[in-house]
A = this chain, B = another copy of it.
Amino acid sequence: VGELELIEAIERVLERRGERVVRWVGDDAAVVRARPFAVTSIDTLADGVHFELSTHAPADVGWKALATALSDLAAMGAEAGEAYVSLALPGELGAERALELVRGMEELAAETGVTVGGGDVVASPALVVSVAATGWAESEDELVGRDGARPGDLVGVTGEVGGSAAGLLLLRGDTRAELSVDEREALLLRHRRPRPRLAAGRLLAAAGARAMIDLSDGLATDARHVARRSGAELIVRLADLPLAAGVDQVALAAGRDPRELAATGGDDYELLVCFAPERREAAEQTARQAGTALTWVGEVRGGQGLVLEGATEELSGWEHR
């Protein structure tokens, strides 16, 4: 199958959602009716680094590539809009698996109301998938950065963490944990099909979140970003992290500390969010409205950097590379 045939097959998989997209795939560029503020993030997954085709179906790779980019929009409180996709494909992947990848991406696009507005398909020595996602906001005030955390703020985490890292240990056969079928499946799904917290991001931003970031590199790294950009110190109590069911068993059976696994494993795509203490209950209620829970795991202080209470010395100095 030639490049043009593959592009045409891809175009048949994609669907245009809503009235916003004026010109779509098949032109030099997509044209979209804008709202006042555009929020854009680009994210990339590479074979052997962010996934392995031996353990990840192409559809999972496509899903995850879009999830990663959308998760950044969630962390800003933006409404997801369009995605633009670059597929750098090694010849040995073949057209059918490339199409499966796009189908997986399109599944998440459908679930989140996103239109894949355009893309580029090129030959490459290795499978590398980049997604640039654009979201929209009516005003600057709707959006939340990493830089607004203030001493006295509470630090919360949506949903559950550690599930993706535990799922990866299971996928790789690196653990002999005895789990129920359901628990095992839930952890695998968590790793293969992460769901960006788009609704929670928008609602938490509207509820007065002062700083927000998605947990993609792992809390130990991402909380540090918030601390640095806010010029403040974040204290996070590892004991308070809301671990997904089964993380304890999987980590222990692999000789890992469960809370350290959760803090460094990444790929959970939950949100870490800072609120003024008087917004505590409003924030909790908002998270429930968005179909998740907010767990308070720490505070913001004057100072600089991140303190992980209950961490080994190694983890305290840990930084994602």
Contact = CB atoms under 8 A, between A and B. Distances in A.
Interface of A: 2-4, 22-23, 26-50, 72-73, 75-76, 78, 82, 84-88, 117-120, 122-126, 128, 130, 132, 134-137, 140, 143, 145-147, 212-214, 229, 319-321
A27 B229 CA distance: 8
Given A27-B145, A34-B36, A76-B28, A42 B124 contact: no
Given A3-B321, A28-B146, A49-B125, 14 more contacts: A2-B321, A28-B75, A29-B76, A31-B37, A31-B39, A31-B143, A33-B36, A41-B120, A44-B88, A44-B120, A46-B88, A46-B123, A86-B130, A128-B128
A interface secondary structure, majority? strand
A75 B26 CA distance: 13
A86 B22 contact: no
Copies per assembly? 2
Given A26-B229, A123-B49, A34 B31 contact: no
Nearest to A145: B27
Contacts of A132: 40, 42, 84, 86, 130, 132
A76 B31 contact: yes
Given A31-B76, A84-B132, A46 B146 contact: no
Contacts of A75: 28-29
Contacts of A84: 40-42, 132
Contacts of A122: 44-46, 49-50
